Structure 1
Amino acid sequence: MKLRFLLLSLFFATTLFAQNGTVTGTILDKEFDNEPLPFANIVIKGTKQGTSTDENGKYSISLKPGNYTIVIGYLGYETKEIPFTIKANEKKVINYTLEASGVQLQDIEIVHIVSKEKESALLQEQQKAVEIKQSIGAEEISKKGISVVAAAVAKTSGISKQEGSSDIYVRGLGDRYNSTTLNGLPLPSNNPSTKNISLDIFSTDIVEFIGIDKTYNYKNYGDFAGANVDIVSKTYRGSGMVEVGTGTGFNSNAISQNKFYLQDGPNFHGFSNEPMPNNPLAGYNFTTSWDKQATTPVNGSFYLRGGDSYGIGSNGKLSFFVNASFDNGFTYKEGVRRGSVNTQAIAVKDFYRKAYEYSTGSNAMANVNFKINSNHNIKLNSMFVNSTSQKHEEFTGILDVFGAAQNGGGFVRRSTFDRTSLFINQLLGEHKFGDRIVFDWGVSYNMMSNVIPDRMQNTIIPFTWDDPNSRLVASDVNQSDNHRYYQEMSDDEIAGNFSVSYKFGKKEDNTYKGKFIAGYSGRYKEINFNATQINLFVTRSLFASQPTVDLNYLDGYFNQANLDAGFFSLRTFRGNVTNPNALKPQNYNGQQIISAGYGAIEYQFSPKLFVIGAFRTEFIIQDIFYDTSLKNGKTLFDTMEYMPSLTAKYEVNDKQNIKLAASKTYTLPQFKERAPFLYEEVGQSYIGNPFLYNSTDYNFDLKWEMFPKNGEVLSFTGFGKYIQNPINQVTIASATNDISWVNSGDKAIGLGIEGEWRKSIISRENNTTGEKTNLGFGLNVSYLYTNQDLNSQKVVEENPGTNVDFTNADSRLSGASDLLINTDLSFNKEFKNNKSLTATLAGGYFSDRIYALGVTGKGDLVDSEVITVDFILKFNLSKNIGIGFSAKNLTDPTIERKQDIQNVVVDSYKKGRNFSLSMKYSF
């Protein structure tokens, strides 16, 4: 009886199911050449039934016979309602092509809302691309609580950030091997010592996603071997929105200080620019307060953003997005800081350092997008960034183990305010002519200003050099021991990209087998660097009668009365007030012009095999004119570079790809590396080398990737780099062990493998309540082997007047960690009534890496391994209100740099833990 009842029930259930019909189809994206649109929302109006399109734009819904209306929508696109009737067992096909619009989904219950900032959408783009590419989008950035672009980039595989600087390392290759763009157009550097702009100055508030090309793309400039980081700014596509947010937090080290010292002069907001006094050599016109303090070293942030879009005519749309933000932060570090360590493991300088740091970041962006019609689009971006760093450092201990304060008692205090102002303007366009021809263009004008106004340094020593307890006097050892320093740098650049593509080989389904691309890129840069240092030179002949110095009241010594008494004098490297040119700044300036043309063919040889062959050539001019304390003159440089590249993708099946990339590129020396300018830090000086020349790079990548389902990926990449005539930072033979840059050997190689795994562990959805639960896991691991030969004789022969004696015959590449790991575990819960909770635990690890190469028997300077852990929690209380909490650097590891062979720690400190609370309100 039970068996009969069971069979009868199964019969009726099967009959009812068989009577259902199916509505199915494909949704295309008109904004992207009618490509399939993944993650579009498909809703049956008036019901709870709905789904999203898959990665191929396809959908399918089972329905009982009847009359329905299907609603097709995508965030920022038009909403289309299509009535239809379905019969029992019928398969109803409804295809549609969505077009961007200012109209939002209204009066319907949305089952899924997914924008192109989503991880899953970017992974889908990665899967479809022929090139080997990687991206991190706004969703992942928000989930991991990342506030600046540099930290976001460092979360991707094979990339790490150097502690204490803005440099990122990609597969062991540092600043000189990488490039940075905004919407595909180049950005200037904000630091004369680096090629790339600091990614720390860009707030993630303005980011839609960050694209990272670790293989060469023929559309990028050829000065590449590591990666090109392209920041894609937000483009608004929806209806009106305004959002305001604020936050507060603290650094555990900073908040624990009873007194948090700041440099005298700069203000809270970071828009200061202290001018040099008039006639500074004619009399003592400086004041030096070393007792300025922060009331409470608590971090803060604020942002305001909004956007809207409007329909114009039958097909046009105008949209805009604006964002303004300000944030500041306090940090404190303390620990050992040693200068040059000799082969007997003796540190010539041996300090204990305390560093009080205060930073600010102000961002303002306006973005206007005008879609004239479905074939023509113009976009305008303007962005202003003001970034400052204020550092007050105190060093106590041995100034010179063989001379001044040899048993301790020496004291150096330096305050540095560094401000960068960047104004970016871009105009971009895309124009389609029929089905075959597309013309893309973009032009930019960037203005960058970097100033260090009134850097203050004082050096105090015991009157009796070998007695740390004797009275204190101003140091007379070097002219620059006590000084005021003023620096200005400007970098103005005009750049443009122009390309046209033509499709050929039309197939039966109206797609094309091939595409030909031709283009031109050009950039013209003018750079100007001025620096004036006024030395407060203590008179050595009067050392015995020098007054005692009070560390907390240096104006008691450095004043007009003591200047008149002859205890010290004012002079620049050109001399004192008697020289009419004494205040003429040290200067280098010049121009860099790169003019590039390229051509490429993309072709589908079979349903599974896609190939891109390209060739790019660049004519490069880099002229530098200099007048410094070392010499004056000019160095002129021009060269032609030829760069072939090949990229291929083989689709094993609809879930797996094999990709290959090979290319030839180059590495260009930077202005400061070639200009003979002496830049002095506490315990270290740097000098340029006009004899530097290009390196040549050969790059190879082979990648396997699998996309099990939406939002998941498993991939492995093997890669190799071969660099001819690599450039390295080295210590040269000099009285002060200056650091310079040389082509250090004949070749360098890098071999490695990267793995990435993103997995959805739990994914549940309640169709009745709309609640969703997701638990996701991410892991990327990189292993790297590098080696370069070091040739002292080559350096001597190629660089007259420069002598380098490498300790080792070969070495790893500077900045290269053997092992890099990033991982995260993220939980997301969406409740009813627009409530949601996201919690993310993220960790990172990098192994030991070389900071600088060893010379004259001294070991390499090596940064020790570091493990970090962050926790981020975000809770949306309603559609309008959200709160967040973050706890970062929970492990608080010791940051340590050692000189191997001698096994001496030369730098060591802890950064402290960072905690913050935030709130946002949107309407």
Structure 2
Amino acid sequence: MSFSSNAQDQKGTIRGSVFDDVSGEALIGVTVQVKNNTSGSVTDFDGKFNINILPGTYDLIISYVSYRTTTVTGVEVKSGSVTLVENIRLQEDVQTLESVVVTAEAIRNSESAILTVKRKAPILVDGISSAKFSQIGDSDASEAVKRVTGVSVEGGKYVFVRGLGDRYTKTTLNSVDVPGLDPDRNSIQIDIFPTSLIENMMVLKSSSADLPADFTGGVVNIETKDFPEVKTFNVSASVGYNPSMHFRDDHFTYKGGKNDWLGFDDGTRQLPAGATNSVFPSPGAPGVTSQDVNSFLKGFNKTMGTQDQKSLMDYSFGISSANQKNFDNGTSLGYIFSTTYKSSTVFYDDAFYGEYQRPAFADEYELIYATTQEGAITERNSLWGSLAGLAYKTQNSKYKLSALHLQNGEKRAARFFIDDNGSAVGKSGFFGGSENLEFSQRGVTNILLSGEHHTSDKGWSIDWKVSPTISKIVEPDIRKTAFTYTSSDTVFSSGAAGNPSRIWRYLDEINLVSKVDFKKNYQLFNKAASLKFGASHTFKERDFEILTYNMQFFGSQPEFNGNSNVIMDDQFLYPNGSVYFSSGNPDPNSNSFNSTVSNTAFYVSNDFQIIDKLKAIIGVRAENFVQRHTGRDGVYANGDVVNGRNLDDAIVLDALHFFPSGNFIYNYRDNQNLRLSYSKTIARPSFKELSFAQILDPVSNRTFNGGLFKFPDWDGNLRETLIDNFDIRWEKYMKKGELFSVSVFYKKFADPIELVRLSVAQTTNEFQPRNVGDGQILGAEFEFRKSLDFAGPVFRKLFASGNLTFVDSRIDMTDQEYNVRKAYQKNGQELKRTREMAGQAPYIINVGLSYEDPENGFDGGLFYNVNGPTLTVVGGGLFPDVYAEPFNSLNFNLSKSFGPDKKTSITFNVSNILDDVRENFFVGFNAQDQYYSRLNPGRSISLGLKYNLN
């Protein structure tokens, strides 16, 4: 094999792809000939071709047996550059030999491939392609996916489909399950993927046997490019400004490490030596001297409080490069590389967290405050990600190797005034002030090795993937210092605001996925059909540990005068002073566990035509899921081995489930489909949920309890959720990418998992994931995208789009939940046996008005999104339910490309134009709503620049 000669280097390259106009599938073996020239090529199994030719303007003749010959005119070739002619669609030659003539410019700017895939897909699917990315100018996947119907993005990072939360939405990379920076989520952060390296993003809204069974709302698959058609070397940068958050003199932070901006701690927050010794270094411990205690205390970072510092703007930059080399023997080698860095500052200057209770008497309605915390929160978030990949293609095979690393660091500080109401149940009554210091570093490394093989007769294909992922989360030295205010002083009081505390959290996870898929093309009923079958295996292992240390006083408490930053001064440390730390970690530690998952799956699926216009995809998937757990509860850890629970590599989930699916498409007109689908899917508890872990949020002072904990009203047996999914959809595709569809869907949930406020814990703020009563949702969805050209030529580049979803959700309450609610029923209140499903909004509105002018490199739009009031925390008894208030999100974006080759682009965005506030409320019968939480994101603007150096 050798590269082209110097003479060849003066040539240019024509690259493209050819598809069947009806099925949307790539066509193999299509002849692509340059008119009046001997140069030509034949498409490979991806439908792609490559022609090296001298500079000039040419016509291409594309021919294939039983298809109309198509001529592409005006293909301009420049020396040393690539001309891309993608998405050529061949029509079947049924009754006429007339050829089809199209222009190269029309093909290059076409979104027809995605529309064809969507129209002909065996399941409900929406998507966006690389051709669209080049028009709209979005820099990363999180911006681009917002344009997909029925999709919303939470926090600029995580995708939700049809309003269903993270538990029911899944994100995959190159069709492989990849954990993100938060392993408790199904979804990976998608804002680290630059659109320049994405082939397409598809959102799958119904299931088939070849897809994993653990989703319900949808699967978002990000497919990266392996053979970039055009050489690229892009650099990009952006800045963002929020008047309510940036350049504020009242902003504050704390002294961290020198590597915080890179997303990891430099040792500033390391655990002191001796902290995990079997004999803890505290006064009076056997064999421990006073000097041992003093040396141990000096090992802690001395910073316990915040300091004022002006806040900075947000900024980001990125570099990406991609190309392919073609060899004389017909093989190709492609590469991609990308690295991005983002830094953002958040400042909530009027943050509020509240705890409210129901009054005990039936004729009292207004909610009673138990504790309120009002103050400010600051965050500095750093994220960098790198993606590198190699792909090698032969005539019948393709191999791909890619590596991805994400590193995220979040430095957080808070100042709060605390008001604890002594008249409320379980409250001591005090005023106080707290300062909280946190840092979280998260890293994820993923490697993907995959292969695709086709037999010479194209009858069989094999696709295999192996993908290991390593995730690591460290939250070192979480510090909380809360003073209790008395009439004459500020002191530490364990019975009120509490003593200072320090927490270390560690999580390590290994994830290994391997899968293989086989496909056989054959004839059934004298029509084309395909049989697919395959297997996959996923292994996950997580180690988790929390270490807690609480400040104590040996004798009288020093006078700190409310200054958090002096309490670790040498003069106050034992034995010179009275300050020392006690360990909150029994041996064995109840907040330490090891869990593993082994999931082996097999599937078979058949795709065939029942009659000319009716297609069926029938399949079944089997998943054998086994989860093991090593851990114990606090009762066992503190020595009560009789009443406590201790698990040693015990099986906590073990089930073989079969997941049938059926998808039927009736194509009663070329541009209209009627779809009917059924599938069974599953939602399983996460490692954290199926554990004995107790995780305190030191800012809100709320505690998460793992589902294995037993309570008087809970048996500690957390089970998976099985879901039956039914969908009916009518869709119509029109010119210019216009569409209209109406969908009706129904989902039935057996044992859904929801986050429940613990009614038995009346003195603390505790929550637990539990199986609640069976649930169901019935919804209707309307989707449209319409050009406004009917209003006149001046409006031909304006498009209106929208997605409206209306859902009725119901949970049939268990007797336990119903009786707890009944105990606090008010006069005049009609208590039903059903309630809304947690996390499901009653309505979702996404509408937008966009202007698209790809010829001039211009794109802009105004987009509005709102979700209806949503139950977020299930209350009961003393505690009311918590609802998320609708957040009215109105955003504007503008993109403009410059130059003859549009190598330079500028983007401008305005977010939260309406300046809405994110609010969650306690809701009681005939009572005024009271704050559960309030955070004001403010308005923000950003400006970005991208330049292609090629």
TM-score of the pair, normalised by structure 2: 0.80
Going from structure 1 to structure 2, the CA distance change for 1:236 and 1:915 (only over 3 Å counts) comes to farther
1:505 paired with 2:523, answer yes
Going from structure 1 to structure 2, the CA distance change for 1:33 and 1:587 (only over 3 Å counts) comes to farther
Query: Alpha-carbon deviation of 1:239?
Result: 3.9
Q: Deviations over 1:387-433 (max 9, x none)?
A: 22222122113145459998874112212212211111111221111
Q: Which amino acid aligns with 1:848?
A: P
Residue in structure 2 matched with residue 366 of structure 1 by the alignment: 388
CA distance in 2, matches of 1:399, 1:558: 30
CA distance in 1, matches of 2:565, 2:19: 76
Residue in structure 2 matched with residue 230 of structure 1 by the alignment: 221
Residue in structure 1 matched with residue 816 of structure 2 by the alignment: 793
CA contact (8 A) 1:386 1:420 kept: yes
CA distance in 2, matches of 1:271, 1:643: 42
1:252 paired with 2:276, answer no
**Unaligned segments of structure 2, at least 5 residues:** 1-17, 31-42, 87-95, 276-280, 282-292, 360-366, 638-645, 709-716, 826-830
Q: Which amino acid aligns with 2:261?
A: F
Which of 387, 400, 404 is the equivalent residue of 1:379?
A: 400
1:896 paired with 2:911, answer no
Residue in structure 2 matched with residue 642 of structure 1 by the alignment: 658
Residue in structure 2 matched with residue 817 of structure 1 by the alignment: 841
Matched position secondary structure for 1:491: strand
Query: Alpha-carbon deviation of 1:303?
Result: 0.8
Which of 586, 595, 602 is the equivalent residue of 1:590?
A: 595
Q: Which amino acid aligns with 1:251?
A: N
Residue in structure 1 matched with residue 615 of structure 2 by the alignment: 610
Going from structure 1 to structure 2, the CA distance change for 1:40 and 1:792 (only over 3 Å counts) comes to farther
- The aligned length equals 834
1:654 paired with 2:670, answer yes
**Unaligned segments of structure 1, at least 5 residues:** 1-24, 62-67, 81-89, 97-108, 576-580, 798-802
Residue in structure 2 matched with residue 549 of structure 1 by the alignment: 561
Residue in structure 2 matched with residue 276 of structure 1 by the alignment: 271
Query: Alpha-carbon deviation of 1:173?
Result: 3.0
Query: Alpha-carbon deviation of 1:446?
Result: 0.7
Query: Alpha-carbon deviation of 1:492?
Result: 0.7
Residue in structure 1 matched with residue 894 of structure 2 by the alignment: 873
Going from structure 1 to structure 2, the CA distance change for 1:367 and 1:710 (only over 3 Å counts) comes to farther
CA contact (8 A) 2:837 2:871 kept: yes
Q: Deviations over 1:758-782 (max 9, x none)?
A: 123349999xxxx997322221111
Between 203-212 and 691-700, the greater mean CA deviation after superposition: 203-212
TM-score of the pair, normalised by structure 1: 0.82
Identity of aligned residues (%): 21
1:520 paired with 2:511, answer no
Residue in structure 2 matched with residue 8 of structure 1 by the alignment: none
CA contact (8 A) 1:349 1:401 kept: no
Residue in structure 2 matched with residue 111 of structure 1 by the alignment: 105
CA distance in 2, matches of 1:504, 1:837: 46
Which of 173, 177, 198 is the equivalent residue of 1:182?
A: 173
1:350 paired with 2:372, answer yes
Going from structure 1 to structure 2, the CA distance change for 1:256 and 1:809 (only over 3 Å counts) comes to farther
Going from structure 1 to structure 2, the CA distance change for 1:217 and 1:431 (only over 3 Å counts) comes to same
Matched position secondary structure for 1:787: strand
Matched position secondary structure for 2:679: strand
1:687 paired with 2:705, answer yes
Query: Alpha-carbon deviation of 1:296?
Result: 4.6
1:905 paired with 2:931, answer yes
Matched position secondary structure for 2:688: helix
Which of 670, 687, 692 is the equivalent residue of 1:671?
A: 687
Which of 442, 450, 456 is the equivalent residue of 1:428?
A: 450
CA distance in 2, matches of 1:804, 1:119: 59
Residue in structure 1 matched with residue 851 of structure 2 by the alignment: 827
CA contact (8 A) 1:754 1:780 kept: yes
Residue in structure 2 matched with residue 473 of structure 1 by the alignment: 491
Going from structure 1 to structure 2, the CA distance change for 1:607 and 1:884 (only over 3 Å counts) comes to same
Going from structure 1 to structure 2, the CA distance change for 1:710 and 1:868 (only over 3 Å counts) comes to same
Which of 779, 786, 798 is the equivalent residue of 2:802?
A: 779
1:719 paired with 2:740, answer no
Residue in structure 1 matched with residue 512 of structure 2 by the alignment: 494
Residue in structure 1 matched with residue 943 of structure 2 by the alignment: 917
Residue in structure 2 matched with residue 447 of structure 1 by the alignment: 470
Matched position secondary structure for 2:244: helix
CA contact (8 A) 2:171 2:221 kept: yes
Q: Which amino acid aligns with 1:278?
A: A
Going from structure 1 to structure 2, the CA distance change for 1:39 and 1:574 (only over 3 Å counts) comes to closer
Q: Deviations over 1:213-271 (max 9, x none)?
A: 22112112222222222222233422432111111122221125214323432422323
CA distance in 1, matches of 2:869, 2:62: 46
Q: Which amino acid aligns with 2:723?
A: D
Between 401-410 and 294-303, the greater mean CA deviation after superposition: 401-410
Matched position secondary structure for 2:931: strand
Going from structure 1 to structure 2, the CA distance change for 1:149 and 1:94 (only over 3 Å counts) comes to closer
CA distance in 1, matches of 2:740, 2:796: 22
Going from structure 1 to structure 2, the CA distance change for 1:294 and 1:300 (only over 3 Å counts) comes to farther
Going from structure 1 to structure 2, the CA distance change for 1:726 and 1:915 (only over 3 Å counts) comes to same
Going from structure 1 to structure 2, the CA distance change for 1:327 and 1:139 (only over 3 Å counts) comes to farther
CA distance in 1, matches of 2:707, 2:466: 33
Going from structure 1 to structure 2, the CA distance change for 1:574 and 1:449 (only over 3 Å counts) comes to closer
Q: Deviations over 1:470-514 (max 9, x none)?
A: 422234237975212111111111111211111111798xxx521
Matched position secondary structure for 2:355: coil
CA distance in 1, matches of 2:61, 2:905: 27
CA contact (8 A) 1:744 1:795 kept: no
Query: Alpha-carbon deviation of 1:329?
Result: 0.9
Going from structure 1 to structure 2, the CA distance change for 1:560 and 1:201 (only over 3 Å counts) comes to farther
Q: Which amino acid aligns with 2:877?
A: T
Going from structure 1 to structure 2, the CA distance change for 1:605 and 1:506 (only over 3 Å counts) comes to closer
Matched position secondary structure for 1:536: strand
Matched position secondary structure for 1:229: strand
CA contact (8 A) 1:392 1:414 kept: yes
Which of 740, 758, 779 is the equivalent residue of 1:752?
A: 779
Matched position secondary structure for 1:855: coil
Between 615-624 and 285-294, the greater mean CA deviation after superposition: 285-294
CA contact (8 A) 2:304 2:481 kept: no
Query: Alpha-carbon deviation of 1:121?
Result: 2.9
Q: Deviations over 1:728-775 (max 9, x none)?
A: 110121241410111111x10001011111123349999xxxx99732
Going from structure 1 to structure 2, the CA distance change for 1:855 and 1:189 (only over 3 Å counts) comes to farther
